[in-house]
A and B are shown apart, each in its own frame.
Chain A
Amino acid sequence: MGRFIVRRLAGMVPFIILVSITVFMLIKLTPGDFVSNYAAALAAAGETVDDAMLDSMRARYGLDQSWLVQYWDWISGVMVGDFGYSFQWQQPVSSLIGERMALTLILSVSTLLFTWSVALPIGVYSAVRRYSIGDYFFTFVGFVGLAVPGFLLALVLMYVGVSVFHSDVGGLFSSQYADAPWSWGRVADLASHLWIPVIILGTSGAASLIRIMRANLLDQLNQPYVDTARAKGLSEFTLLVRYPIRIALNPFVSTLGWILPNLVSGAVIISVVLNLPTAGPLLLQALLGQDQYLAGAFLLLLCSLTVVGTLVSDILLALLDPRIRVS
């Protein structure tokens, strides 16, 4: 097992390197840079722009260097925890992203737990009571859940919140906690706000997981080992829990690898709509303003998050399935 984890961890290294290069290339694809953007903004405001001043700005930010040099400067900083400097905010990137990434992580992981805890029982119910009214109901709800984009759900909930409950459902904190330092009160406040984005974000994931769980379990229910267990005299419930459900869990767990990227992805856009203090809104701004190190840091961390998610799912799978662990 230890060797398995070491092997997976080692396999991650080239992945992360590739991610960082991809991310940097994405940022650098943009024609122009922060300085030309800044100059355009100045020009739009009617100020005259001095080319020499722009060049000195470029030199200060290292933008006059070659692509590779810039990447190396950036990545060697990242390795020691220095994510560079945000041009827009005139602050080190690390001070901007810390709490936002933490909140993104909290949001994603809570949504993941929510998705699993909803999808597992419903998927099992749908498979075991196949073609029952309940199965049809959940299948239909699942289809609708897949069809409604998260941000639309967020908009609808916002409308319902305003028109029925006369309250704003956006944000993750009440106003008195928004900028307060961390305390138990703030944690409780977060928890009381978190469920709305979690439901919005988790709906489509839960819908697809229900379908996956149902299909997996239906596959397993026809396997000969189920007959063997039944012939031993186990009760239907024990049988179900010990064998098909237990085995159908394996592919279910391995969905973590792609469900997490989806959640991180969806979280970006929902955060913009619901105005959550997570990575999404700031990333969008940074991308639009070509604030390359800020955008790069976010992209790198979000992508790494999903790579780590894949790793966790591999390890969980190995724990669950002796075929992977032993051989």
Chain B
Amino acid sequence: MACVMRPILMPTKPVLELRGLSTHFPIGNRVLKAVDDVSFSLHAGETLCIVGESGSGKSITARSILQIVGPPGRIVAGEILFTPPDGHTVDIAKLNPRTADMRAIRGRDIAMIFQEPMTSLSPIHRVGWQIMEGLLAHKLMDRKAARARAIDLLRQVEIPNPEQAVDRYPFEFSGGMRQRAMIAMALACNPKVLIADEPTTALDVTTQAEILRLIRRLQQAHGLAVLFITHDMGVVAQIADNVLVMRNGEVVERARVQELFRAPKHPYTIRLLEAATALGMAAPPARKAAPQGTAILKIRDLTLTYPAQSRLFGKAQPPTHAVRGVSFDLHEGENLGIVGESGSGKTTLGSCLIRVLKPSNGQVTYTMRDGSTRDMASLDRPGLKPVHREMRMIFQDPFAALNPRMTVGQCIGEPLLVNRLLQGEELAVRISDLLGMVGLPPDVAGRYPHAFSGGQRQRIVIARALAPNPRLIIADEATSALDVTLRRQILDLLLELQPELGLSFIFISHDLGVIRYFCDRIAVMHRGEIVEIGPADDICARPQMPYTQKLLAAVPEANPAHRDEGRTFFL
């Protein structure tokens, strides 16, 4: 559904203009229309965001512009008009992807940065060399000048000690540093257009904020036109001037960013924005009041230390504290969120609580339904079994969490079967009940997991967790692998089931929005320790610790009116 582009008054010709671009993938005797009749224009200094969920065709659109779509994808129709400042327009879609004319545009006029900074950089070439390479390929300068330029670029992207960093390898850099190096590489030849394909998706939220700020600063300094691909409405609100919403290869809506957030027109956009706002920091959380039941889980001074590695030759590795001195209580009927960035120890903590990992120190005291208490930290396998019937887990990756060799019914029934809780007909009835609970038809029990989408699989995983009638569920990044609309559905499902089943949750996530939506209390983890814990409202509105403040400030708010640093809109 391609609507006609609303003319925007611009002083100059757009530097990049797409007219009716279609990129198709012939697969067998079908054709996948990955990009279907997409049009837009992009001016110098403007940021255009293409937003959409997985499979919307946003990345293929970006790749089509540089003609680097992987086979069997092919541009079948449309024009990609590039107009450099000298005013001579080229239709990129007409160029053969393998010719020198096409190569002259790549990197020099239009540069691109990619999602995964680790795999997008060659692991065995020095960072500086990878930056210089584009300059040398386009014969813009000699080796010596290129090296000086690489050092200068590393300085511009705020990498410390650029003179040394230029000779480092990507694996010696952190994720954020790698993405900075990637940006330096893209900017090397002073391109007119920068295409950024989900450049911050693989990064932590604080790093994301830094990278977004950097892109913005460099854009202003160089007058770049930026085409920014993302799935995150918060990021859109923070950096876009104009927005294109894509779904199934088509553009469903286009608007100025303020307009889009104020008055979205297409139902899909409305749904997307609703989900994003609900899971954002400004919306009221889904949970009303924190019920104060008795404490069912008491964690005291929990520590997991990996011992020092001594080696015959070379340096000995010091011991690492994955989790250090963690203490808190969980009350019955409560949802506790554990939030932290990658490497904060939140997943390790979750594994220690359910005793997939054995903590090196401390107590995890669980009060059973019958009132007896168990210290899980010191229980052996037979002692753990009854506890594991009451304490269950939901995993991050719904594709890995289900045994592909077992039917859905077998997966869900396994905890009931091995604990000899139910058998035969009773088991079958319970499985259909569970499937109904998570919103799946009961007749899917005979199918295999490969027949289901990610969201459906996560529902199956939830059904398996609910099977032995648990009291406490530990959810480790349970919604991270899902698109935002699905994410909200799953959270709502859990909230709906909670009162009738009398559940408590420990919800582990990197996403503060999700935690805030779902939890009554939040614990913030940093470097293996809990830096702050308290009611969700207090943590989000009045954070006490500097780290929590930094974390909160970094969350991109899905509201263009609240941009940080008073970023102005492109006109």
Q: List chain A positions with a Cβ less than 8 A from chain B.
A: 3, 6-7, 10, 222-225, 227-236, 238, 242-243, 246-247, 250, 320-323, 326-327
Is B124 in contact with A320, judged by CB distance below 8 angstroms?
yes
Is B313 in contact with A224, judged by CB distance below 8 angstroms?
no
Query: A268 to B116, alpha carbons, bound, how many Å?
Result: 50
Is B106 in contact with A231, judged by CB distance below 8 angstroms?
yes
Is B133 in contact with A232, judged by CB distance below 8 angstroms?
yes
Is A229 in contact with B68, judged by CB distance below 8 angstroms?
no
Is B122 in contact with A323, judged by CB distance below 8 angstroms?
no
- Whose C-beta in chain A lies nearest to the C-beta of B100? A235
Is A6 in contact with B313, judged by CB distance below 8 angstroms?
yes
Contacts of B125 in A (CB 8 A): 242
Per-residue 0/1 for B92-134: is the Cβ within 8 Å of any A Cβ (1 yes, 0 no)?
Answer: 0000001010011111100110111001111111000000011
Given A228-B122, A234-B137; 16 other pairs, CB 8 A cutoff: A10-B312, A224-B115, A224-B116, A225-B122, A228-B182, A229-B122, A231-B106, A231-B112, A232-B111, A233-B138, A234-B103, A243-B122, A247-B122, A322-B123, A322-B169, A326-B172
- Whose C-beta in chain B lies nearest to the C-beta of A320? B124
Contacts of A10 in B (CB 8 A): 312-313
Distance between B4 CB and nearest chain A CB, rounded to angstroms: 31
Given the interface pairs A7-B313, A323-B124, the reply to whether A232 lies near B137 with Cβ below 8 Å is yes
Using a CB-CB cutoff of 8 Å, which residues 258-279 of chain B contact chain A? none
Is A326 in contact with B114, judged by CB distance below 8 angstroms?
no
Partner of A232 from B70, B100, B107 at Cβ < 8 Å: B107
Query: A235 to B136, alpha carbons, bound, how many Å?
Result: 12
Query: A232 to B186, alpha carbons, bound, how many Å?
Result: 8
Is B108 in contact with A225, judged by CB distance below 8 angstroms?
no
Is A227 in contact with B120, judged by CB distance below 8 angstroms?
yes
Contacts of A225 in B (CB 8 A): 119-123
Interface centre among A6, A232, A236, A238 (most CB of B within 10 A): A232
Given the interface pairs A233-B137, A322-B124, A326-B172, the reply to whether A224 lies near B106 with Cβ below 8 Å is no
Query: A235 to B99, alpha carbons, bound, how many Å?
Result: 8
Is B120 in contact with A224, judged by CB distance below 8 angstroms?
yes
Contacts of A243 in B (CB 8 A): 122
Distance between B250 CB and nearest chain A CB, rounded to angstroms: 24
A-B contact count (CB 8 A): 88
Is A247 in contact with B120, judged by CB distance below 8 angstroms?
no
Is B124 in contact with A233, judged by CB distance below 8 angstroms?
no
Query: A322 to B133, alpha carbons, bound, how many Å?
Result: 19
Is A223 in contact with B119, judged by CB distance below 8 angstroms?
yes
Per-residue 0/1 for B140-175: is the Cβ within 8 Å of any A Cβ (1 yes, 0 no)?
Answer: 000000000000000000000000000001011000
Query: A47 to B103, alpha carbons, bound, how many Å?
Result: 88
Contacts of A234 in B (CB 8 A): 103, 133, 137
Interface centre among A3, A227, A326 (most CB of B within 10 A): A227
Residue B185 lies at the interface, judged by CB distance under 8 Å to chain A: yes
Residue B7 lies at the interface, judged by CB distance under 8 Å to chain A: no
Is B111 in contact with A3, judged by CB distance below 8 angstroms?
no
Distance between B227 CB and nearest chain A CB, rounded to angstroms: 13
Partner of A230 from B106, B108, B121, B138 at Cβ < 8 Å: B106
Residue B66 lies at the interface, judged by CB distance under 8 Å to chain A: yes
Is A321 in contact with B124, judged by CB distance below 8 angstroms?
yes
Contacts of B63 in A (CB 8 A): 227
Is B111 in contact with A231, judged by CB distance below 8 angstroms?
yes
Contacts of A322 in B (CB 8 A): 123-124, 169, 171
- Whose C-beta in chain B lies nearest to the C-beta of A228? B120
- 18 A-B residue pairs with Cβ-Cβ distance under 8 Å, sorted by A, are A10-B312, A224-B115, A224-B119, A228-B122, A230-B68, A231-B68, A231-B107, A231-B111, A231-B112, A232-B133, A233-B103, A233-B138, A235-B103, A246-B124, A247-B124, A250-B124, A323-B123, A323-B169
Partner of A238 from B111, B119, B137 at Cβ < 8 Å: B137
Residue B314 lies at the interface, judged by CB distance under 8 Å to chain A: yes
Q: Which 7 A-B pairs rank lowest in CB-CB distance, beginning with the nearest?
A: A233-B107, A233-B106, A232-B107, A232-B134, A231-B112, A224-B120, A233-B103
Distance between A276 CB and nearest chain B CB, rounded to angstroms: 40
Given the interface pairs A231-B111, A233-B137, the reply to whether A7 lies near B314 with Cβ below 8 Å is yes
Is B114 in contact with A323, judged by CB distance below 8 angstroms?
no
Contacts of A223 in B (CB 8 A): 119
Contacts of B66 in A (CB 8 A): 230-231
Partner of B104 from A3, A227, A233, A323 at Cβ < 8 Å: A233
Distance between B478 CB and nearest chain A CB, rounded to angstroms: 27
Contacts of B112 in A (CB 8 A): 228, 231
Is A3 in contact with B313, judged by CB distance below 8 angstroms?
yes
Contacts of A6 in B (CB 8 A): 313
Using a CB-CB cutoff of 8 Å, which residues 41-85 of chain B contact chain A? 63, 66, 68, 70
Query: A224 to B134, alpha carbons, bound, how many Å?
Result: 17
Query: A229 to B70, alpha carbons, bound, how many Å?
Result: 14
Query: A223 to B119, alpha carbons, bound, how many Å?
Result: 7
Contacts of A222 in B (CB 8 A): 70
Query: A223 to B137, alpha carbons, bound, how many Å?
Result: 21
Query: A327 to B137, alpha carbons, bound, how many Å?
Result: 31
Distance between B141 CB and nearest chain A CB, rounded to angstroms: 15
Partner of B121 from A228, A233, A238, A326 at Cβ < 8 Å: A228
Distance between A151 CB and nearest chain B CB, rounded to angstroms: 40
Per-residue 0/1 for B543-557: is the Cβ within 8 Å of any A Cβ (1 yes, 0 no)?
Answer: 000000000000000
- Whose C-beta in chain B lies nearest to the C-beta of A327? B171
- Whose C-beta in chain B lies nearest to the C-beta of A235? B103
Query: A105 to B106, alpha carbons, bound, how many Å?
Result: 50
Query: A227 to B375, alpha carbons, bound, how many Å?
Result: 52
Query: A225 to B182, alpha carbons, bound, how many Å?
Result: 11
Query: A238 to B313, alpha carbons, bound, how many Å?
Result: 39
Query: A327 to B124, alpha carbons, bound, how many Å?
Result: 13
Is A233 in contact with B105, judged by CB distance below 8 angstroms?
yes
- Whose C-beta in chain B lies nearest to the C-beta of A324? B124
- Whose C-beta in chain A lies nearest to the C-beta of B133? A232
Distance between A296 CB and nearest chain B CB, rounded to angstroms: 31
Query: A223 to B116, alpha carbons, bound, how many Å?
Result: 11
Query: A229 to B131, alpha carbons, bound, how many Å?
Result: 10
Distance between A211 CB and nearest chain B CB, rounded to angstroms: 22
Is B124 in contact with A228, judged by CB distance below 8 angstroms?
no
- Whose C-beta in chain B lies nearest to the C-beta of A222? B70
Interface centre among B121, B122, B313 (most CB of A within 10 A): B122
- Whose C-beta in chain B lies nearest to the C-beta of A223? B119
Query: A10 to B311, alpha carbons, bound, how many Å?
Result: 13
Query: A242 to B133, alpha carbons, bound, how many Å?
Result: 11
Per-residue 0/1 for B281-321: is the Cβ within 8 Å of any A Cβ (1 yes, 0 no)?
Answer: 00000000000000000000000000000001110000000
Contacts of A320 in B (CB 8 A): 124
Contacts of B119 in A (CB 8 A): 223-225
- Whose C-beta in chain A lies nearest to the C-beta of B69? A227
Query: A47 to B314, alpha carbons, bound, how many Å?
Result: 66
Using a CB-CB cutoff of 8 Å, which residues 348-385 of chain B contact chain A? none
Query: A231 to B68, alpha carbons, bound, how many Å?
Result: 7
Distance between B235 CB and nearest chain A CB, rounded to angstroms: 20
Query: A114 to B119, alpha carbons, bound, how many Å?
Result: 33
Query: A225 to B171, alpha carbons, bound, how many Å?
Result: 13
Distance between B260 CB and nearest chain A CB, rounded to angstroms: 29
Is B171 in contact with A323, judged by CB distance below 8 angstroms?
yes
Contacts of A236 in B (CB 8 A): 98
Distance between A178 CB and nearest chain B CB, rounded to angstroms: 48
